[in-house]
Homo-oligomer: A and B are copies of this chain.
Amino acid sequence: MDNKYAIGVDVGGTTTKFGIVNSKGVIISQSRIPSGEHEFVEDFIQELYNKLMPMVEAVGGKKNIKGIGMGAPNGNIYSGTIEYAPNLKWKGIIPMTDIITQKFSLPSKLTNDANAAAVGEMLYGCAKNMKHFITITLGTGVGSGIVIDGKIVVGHDGFAGELGHTIIRPGGRLHKGTGMKGSLESYASATGVRETAIELITMYPQKETLLRNYSIHELTSQIVYECAMKGDAIANEIFEFTGQILGESLANFVMFSSPEAIVLFGGLTKAGNLLLHPTRKHMEANLLPIFKNKVKIIFSELKESDAAILGASALIW
């Protein structure tokens, strides 16, 4: 049988991961290239081609590949273009599906990276059998994919679901990438946790904290997590605050689309209950009674990149 496989590509700010996926949603081979090192998108696609073609040959060549699905920041499913992605090197409007199809002579589809992850979660992850859920990726930034009635919400122009950029503290912390103040992403991302740490250390110069053992450069959300697990009060306060902001935002999202579940992904979820408990508490506290104690908050069981590769490949089936 021809067309046994689809290729899924997940373009991230620093790394692009890709894999060959069979029709049951198993990634049978996988690799990665850097995203940020090619000034021209054509060179990036050339490197992707060089890495992918041996993998394609290993499954019997292009005749066995149905197409290439890609998830990328600001990827637009309608136009197949990546438009003004702040975290990518290629500026302006990139006609990505055209470039891929020309290079590979294979059908190609593009979507937003967070939407690709949500599709992966719906088809192969913990949202299987759910028709209404929201995925939130808590990584360097905050991404989101919204599913209503079993379909990804893309809106009238293909750009819906930018929940990381919704404002939860009007006039609050500056987001350097967007210039906006008080967006969810400026607090509830790895970058945001680091900034909260710097703020709190500065705000309480007298208070003892393990965080002072690290230079400003060394401080990461991972270090804040490790200090919190050792019982450090300020480190714990940082996760409490991060969970509060996230929980308040989730309450707003729930009152929009009333999902069954919120699925959390990404590096920050390693904090586990340190993040989950305050998030749940503040979400519930900000919900109307009709929504209370109904919405599950769950951590994805898929690796974030696997979900995106699977979701991107699913565009092709």
CA gap between A156 and B153 in the complex, in Å: 15
Query: A132-B155, A149-B151, A155-B148 known; A161 and B256 CB under 8 Å?
Result: yes
Contact yes or no, A178 B288, CB < 8 A: yes
Taken together, the copies of this chain in the complex come to 2
Contact yes or no, B84 A167, CB < 8 A: no
Taking CB atoms, residues of chain B closer than 8 Å to A148 are 148, 153, 155
> Whole-angstrom distance from the CB of A135 to the nearest CB of chain B?
14
Question: 8 Å CB contacts to B: which residues of A144-165?
Answer: 146, 148-149, 151, 153-163, 165
CA gap between A130 and B155 in the complex, in Å: 11
CA gap between A260 and B289 in the complex, in Å: 31
Question: 8 Å CB contacts to B: which residues of A255-278?
Answer: 255-260
Query: A167-B251, A251-B167 known; A258 and B289 CB under 8 Å?
Result: no
Taking CB atoms, residues of chain B closer than 8 Å to A158 are 258
Contact yes or no, A294 B157, CB < 8 A: yes
Contact yes or no, A162 B288, CB < 8 A: yes
Is the CB of A232 closer than 8 A to any CB of chain B?
no
Annotate A137-149 by CB proximity to B: 1 below 8 A, 0 otherwise: 0000000001011
Contact yes or no, B251 A253, CB < 8 A: no
Which of chain B's residues has its CB closest to A251's CB? B167
A: contact size bracket: 35 or more
Annotate A278-291 by CB proximity to B: 1 below 8 A, 0 otherwise: 00000000101111
Which of chain B's residues has its CB closest to A133's CB? B156
CA gap between A74 and B289 in the complex, in Å: 11
Is the CB of A205 closer than 8 A to any CB of chain B?
no
Contact yes or no, B83 A165, CB < 8 A: no
Is the CB of A173 closer than 8 A to any CB of chain B?
no
CA gap between A133 and B291 in the complex, in Å: 23
Taking CB atoms, residues of chain B closer than 8 Å to A288 are 162, 165, 178, 180
Contact yes or no, B165 A258, CB < 8 A: no
Which of chain B's residues has its CB closest to A161's CB? B256
Is the CB of A131 closer than 8 A to any CB of chain B?
yes
CA gap between A22 and B162 in the complex, in Å: 41
Annotate A180-202 by CB proximity to B: 1 below 8 A, 0 otherwise: 10000000000000000000000
Q: Among the listed B151, B155, B252, which residue makes an inter-chain contact with A257, where contact means beta carbons less than 8 Å apart? A: B155
Query: A165-B255, A167-B252 known; A131 and B156 CB under 8 Å?
Result: yes
Contact yes or no, A257 B153, CB < 8 A: yes
Is the CB of A166 closer than 8 A to any CB of chain B?
yes
Contact yes or no, A156 B259, CB < 8 A: yes
CA gap between A169 and B151 in the complex, in Å: 31
CA gap between A180 and B288 in the complex, in Å: 8
A-B contacts, 28 listed (Cβ < 8 Å): A74-B290, A84-B290, A132-B156, A148-B148, A149-B151, A155-B258, A155-B259, A156-B260, A158-B258, A159-B258, A159-B290, A159-B291, A160-B255, A160-B256, A160-B257, A160-B258, A162-B288, A162-B291, A163-B255, A165-B255, A165-B288, A166-B255, A167-B248, A167-B252, A169-B170, A252-B252, A256-B256, A256-B257
